Amino acid sequence: MQRITGTYVSSTTLGEVVRSFVPHSLPPQDPALEPELWQHQLRAAGQALTRLSVVTGLVPSVDWLLYSTIRREALLTSQIEGTQATLTDLFDHEAGLVTDNADDVEEVTNYLQAFRLVRKNMRDEHGLPLSVRLLCDAHRLLLSGTRGASKQPGEIRRSQNWIGGSRPGNAAFVPPPPEHLAVLLADLEQFIHAEQHGLPPLVRIALLHAQFETIHPFLDGNGRLGRLLITALFEHWGLLSEPLLYLSGYLKRHQGEYYRLLSAVRTQGDWEAWVGFFLDAVTGAATEAEGSIIALATLVTSDRRRLLVEPMAGSVAYRLFEMLPTTPRFTIESIRQKLATSFPTANAAVKLLVALGIVEERSGQRKNRVFSYQRYIDILSQ
């Protein structure tokens, strides 16, 4: 039996009469969802998340894991929307180096700022809870100063939008008219904080992401903000103590299926297929993150051991090495400033790490040379 997940209403947009979709409130009904349908996938996802948490606890510093994971998620979620920036571009930007695609890098860094804002509020007893207001504040940062700056940053849209097509009349999907958004978003927020609904947290996250993307409450940035909501919900419901899951990598590789199943929720009421896909995505992403953490930790441990047995290594070289996971691209001057040392001392430390094969010079220039912890970046870029 096909489930009805919403109603269509007629509205006029840019002189065309279009049918806008207004989704029903969560959770889905007629028939209701049966979590037993995904018991094997839920178990696999739960086990993968547990392994990820265990591996994280074996790493000496969670800070550099967070640094890399958050940036990878920021990059991949932006790439789903067409951003062309790379991890190297982002690391270069953070090192103060000039990049060719500054606008794309700005979109990625804006996501990082929005993400930090949400986490800070959720972890502060005086901060905003996970709410529409907090998402609006995050949206303001997400679109600040970028190509979306004219799309009402931080404001729920006051006009009709559409997805796909060159105009509303040939759009692939037309979200709810603006006059429906207040009620829809209030229902969404209520579902986040409801005490009882009989559904596992991972299923609820899948439902909330699909519902947010269907509502499409902003003129721009809905995809990125909807995926940021996924990460926030993992923390809100205590599924991971740290945001070490970069789900956007899986969604980017399966982008066609991702969009097709979201559409099938609206057109066919097929929540079951979407939730199953989402649970597989969690399992796949957690397994990938676990492997990545092991590879990164192995690399750093091996390189540290090489440095520790080097008789020429001094305190500056040690300090420089410990900075590499959070400063994988740098110039000697930028390192000199961070280490608060002289240029010759910083230069000697860099030369030692180059001689040991830990870092390498990548610019090919005589002046303003750029150095890279390249094997670390290569693991992150896989």
The whole-model pTM stands at 0.94
pLDDT tens across 46-71, in order?
A: 999 999 999 988 887 888 889 989 99
Range(s) within the chain of domains with CATH label 1.10.3290.10: 6-292
309 CB-contact burial (10 Å; exposed 0-12 / middle 13-18 / buried 19+): exposed
Average pLDDT, the chain: 93
Q: What is the pLDDT of residue 322?
A: 94
Q: What is the pLDDT of residue 188?
A: 97
Which one-letter amino acid corresponds to residue 250? Y
Contact between residue 166 and residue 14 where contact means Cβ atoms under 8 Å apart: no
Average pLDDT over residues 242-268: 94
- Could you give the angle at the alpha carbon of 146 between the alpha carbons of 112 and 229, nearest 5°? 40
Q: What CATH number does the domain located at 6-292 have?
A: 1.10.3290.10
Range(s) within the chain of domains with CATH label 1.10.10.10: 311-381
Read off the tokens for 231. 């990460």
In the structure, what pLDDT confidence band is assigned to residue 149 with cuts at 50, 70 and 90? confident
Q: What is the pLDDT of residue 351?
A: 95
% of the chain surpassing 90 pLDDT: 78
> Using CA atoms, how far apart are residues 262 and 259, in angstroms rounded to an integer?
5
Phi, psi of 101 (to 5 degrees): -115, 65
pLDDT tens across 7-30, in order?
A: 999 988 888 888 999 999 999 998
Please say if the pLDDT value at position 291 is more than 70.
Answer: yes
In the structure, what pLDDT confidence band is assigned to residue 198 with cuts at 50, 70 and 90? confident
pLDDT tens across 294-332, in order?
A: 999 999 999 999 999 999 999 999 999 999 999 999 999
β-pair type (371-372, 329-330): antiparallel
- Could you give the angle at the alpha carbon of 203 between the alpha carbons of 202 and 205, nearest 5°? 65
Q: What is the pLDDT of residue 309?
A: 94
Nearest CA-CA partner of 41 in 252, 282, 286: 282
> Using CA atoms, how far apart are residues 42 and 246, in angstroms rounded to an integer?
18
The answer for residues whose C-beta is within 8 angstroms of residue 365's C-beta and 6 or more apart is none
Q: What CATH number does the domain located at 311-381 have?
A: 1.10.10.10
Please say if the pLDDT value at position 363 is more than 80.
Answer: no
Nearest CA-CA partner of 286 in 336, 250, 331, 326: 250
Contact between residue 302 and residue 331 where contact means Cβ atoms under 8 Å apart: no
